[in-house]
Amino acid sequence: MLSTGALRAHLLATRLAGTVATSREASLRSYRLFAARDPRVMLGLDPEGAWGELEVMALMADRCGVSGDPGWVSGADVIDPERTLAGLEAFAGRLGEAAAQGVPVLFGTGHPHRLLGFYAELADALSAAGCLVLTPAQGRCVDITTRFGVRTYNLDYVRGVALVREPGARGPVSDTGAHSHSPLPVRVALAAAGEAGGPLPGLVVGDHGWVCGAGQLGFEAIGLADTDDPALFVGEAEGRVSVAVPLDDAVRSDYYRPLTRYVLNRACLSR
């Protein structure tokens, strides 16, 4: 069993928390765009409140531990490891409850290069506990607006985790899974599940648009988010996201393995 102290040390050593690779400039840009309701950073969330740039920054300072000083405009951003640990506890708690209730679960990621293994291990554990891990709309085309214009991707599942690929992509998922912020894939997946007569997920687990898109539609959703992903934390503050765990979502994939073990242990799902 990985102790809380050992995990805290791991978070700091790998820069999952503490001083992270995400720049202050990138975070502030996201806060400005969110305040302007730019769809590139909304991730499918339609906030009820009037979130100005300073309000977003204050929320991120509270939920992540970033600086709330608008005068600090450059350098590396910071995540408080205590907030990450608290988020992981809440995240594990919801997984444990889902397992105990045997609810269907949908996993999806916009970071397949980094986070596929993390989610896949959780999916395996919930499946072993008796939860149905859903894979609706596999192979379905999804048109997503990118900085290069509208591009068509294919919805795919690897070890029970949804992701999008460019058409015709083959080979290892790390080479072909696409980085995406879009909520469209989860909307397509949920619509397909509904059209098929269910079952629908009792919990959606993931990041980016998978969490915010599902939460906006009224599905319980939990996930991971970086300092430049304010939508998940706004969604959490407004009650449409159950848990948003602050951490760097783009470090080496093997750095997330201790988090997987910790979460499964806390959720009483270790095998």
CB count in 10 Å sphere of residue 163: 29
| Average of per-residue pLDDT across 128-140 | 97
pLDDT for 175 equals 57
Which of the four pLDDT bands, split at 50, 70 and 90, describes residue 148?
confident
| Average of per-residue pLDDT across 93-111 | 98
Q: Are 204 and 108 in contact (CB under 8 A)?
A: yes
Which of the four pLDDT bands, split at 50, 70 and 90, describes residue 166?
confident
What is the reported pTM?
Answer: 0.95
The rounded distance, in Å, linking the Cα atoms of 260 and 14 is 15
pLDDT for 147 equals 76
CA dihedral 191, 192, 197, 198 (to 10 degrees): -80
Tokens matching residue 210: 């998978």
Q: Are 233 and 244 in contact (CB under 8 A)?
A: yes
Q: Which of 133-147, 194-208, 216-230 has the lowest mean pLDDT?
A: 133-147
What does the radius of gyration of the chain's CA atoms come to, in whole angstroms? Answer: 17
Q: Are 146 and 198 in contact (CB under 8 A)?
A: no
Which of the four pLDDT bands, split at 50, 70 and 90, describes residue 173?
low
Please list, in sequence order, all residues whose beta carbon lies within 8 angstroms of the beta carbon of residue 269, skipping any fewer than 6 positions away.
Answer: 95, 96, 99, 125, 126, 128, 129
Residue 113 Cα distances to 73, 177, 185, 229, angstroms: 29, 7, 17, 18
**Percent of the chain clearing pLDDT 90 (strictly above):** 90
Instruction: Give the pairing of strands 243-246 and 221-225.
Output: parallel
Q: Are 122 and 105 in contact (CB under 8 A)?
A: no
Strand partners of residue 163: 156
DSSP string, 251-268: S-GGGGHHHHHHHHHHTT
Which of the four pLDDT bands, split at 50, 70 and 90, describes residue 197?
very high
| DSSP state for residue 227 in the 8-state scheme | T
The rounded distance, in Å, linking the Cα atoms of 225 and 109 is 11
